[in-house]
Amino acid sequence: MPDARPFARPDAAHPVPMPDGSAHPGTVFLKPVIDHPRWELGDYTYASAHHPPADWAAHLAPYLFDFSPERLVIGRFCQIADGALFVTASANHRRDGFSTYPFAIFGGGPVAGRPSMPGPGRDTVVGHDVWIGTRATILPGARIGSGTIIGAGAVVGGEIPPYSLVAGNPGRVIRPRFDAATVARLLEIGWWDWPIDRILAAEAAICGGDLAALEAA
């Protein structure tokens, strides 16, 4: 008989069941498992790890501290493969002077206002339905548009347009996934904001690339 189980709830920490009824420990919906003041997460965005960490926030973004001024914002329905890493702005050193050494963190006076510390960096923002491949690195302040695919091992910074294919180090847009008119229409439709039942009813159109059917849905 076909598997007719209901779609996973967005608050399910471990949304993938195993044949024996246990939950797959290496795949999590991030929103219910990350409680961190500098993260902002959309529903149904998941991450996977061959060796599941105790702390998913520290595993994925080890330089984003509770006291960091920047945020990491990730939209709905994103897919983050094993080994992907977000290097957020709190990892930065000053690089406009003669030395990049962070003297302030090792003492010699208060940290705040020290000339060896960089100023606050900008937020790192990932749109909706973005696939980040294994061992990809997202650099501080990157802005990745919805529908983008980041290739395995890519090192990505700056502004990435929606529905791009990105690969390499440094990460470059290899090509757009669709023509400009289709991208504009997909962003206007914004299927990721629909209720989950409506999304599932349109699954064939969404995953099959049928824009006319998606518009009809």
- The residues spanned by each domain of the chain are 27-177, 179-217
Q: Name the nearest CA neighbour of 62 among 40, 39, 96.
A: 39
What is the fold of 27-177? Answer: UDP N-Acetylglucosamine Acyltransferase; domain 1 (2.160.10)
Mind listing the pLDDT tens digit for each residue in 146-204?
999 999 999 999 999 999 999 999 999 999 999 999 999 999 999 999 999 999 999 99
Q: Name the nearest CA neighbour of 176 among 191, 188, 187.
A: 187
Active site positions, annotated:
93
pTM here is 0.94
CA distance 82 to 88: 18
Pair 157, 170: CB distance under 8 Å = yes
Cα 110–chain centre separation: 34
CA distance 3 to 176: 35
Mind listing the pLDDT tens digit for each residue in 67-80?
999 999 999 999 99
